[in-house]
Structure 1
Amino acid sequence: MQLARVLGQVVSTVKQSGLDRFTLLLLQDSTGEGPQDVDGPVYVAVDLVGAGVGEIVLVASGGAARVAAGADAPTDRAVVAIADTVIRGGSVTYRNT
């Protein structure tokens, strides 16, 4: 799994039937310096937990994303959790307020 920040949503009125029940989120991976520091390509993932813009989330990819999404939706990435707190080296580096 990977930590990522939610940047926004992708709205699609026409999509495969397996994706009908999901919101599509625009994400960018955390750099590892701090959960809020993001870098790299922006990508889309199905939202399984109701995450919002600006939140730090856990993203499953590959087969794990398909299993989490119920295997009836073609997806490579799925948001499976919203981070409340991230602790690194004994220090809180992120707290969802």
Structure 2
Amino acid sequence: MILGKVVGNVWATRKEEALRGLKLLVIKPIDYHSKQPLSTFVATDRVGAGIGDTVLIVTGSSARKTIEVDNAPIDASIVGIVDEVEVDIDI
């Protein structure tokens, strides 16, 4: 699983039929230990996340299982909105 911050929305008037009705959000991964910039990516959202929310994301086959459409072209899906994160950055 990945922790990330929702930083934007994606609108696509033409897309694969299996993606119709799915909300697409731009995610910036959060890495509490590394100073390296991480690349943003797009994830589907079925939990009602919005810009500024910290979210929990699954990828790969787990992401495809979050919707009822078999073999949907999904690489990442938001499965939770995070209320709080506690991290000891000295470890």
Paired positions, count: 86
State whether structure 2 residue 78 is matched by structure 1 residue 79. yes
Distance in 2, Cα, partners of 1:20 & 1:77: 16
Q: Which runs of 4+ in 1 moved over 2 A?
A: 69-73
Structure 2 gap ranges (5+): none
**Whose RCO is larger (CA < 8 A, sep 6+)?**
2
Equivalent position amino acid for 1:50 in 2: G
Match of residue 93 from structure 1: none
Distance in 2, Cα, partners of 1:25 & 1:18: 16
Distance in 2, Cα, partners of 1:32 & 1:70: 33
Structure 1 gap ranges (5+): 90-97
Equivalent position amino acid for 1:7 in 2: V
More strand by share: 1
Q: Provide the aligned C-alpha RMSD in A.
A: 1.8
User: Which runs of structure 2 are paired with 1:1-97 in the superposition (5 Å)?
Assistant: 1-33=1-33, 39-72=37-70, 73-89=72-88
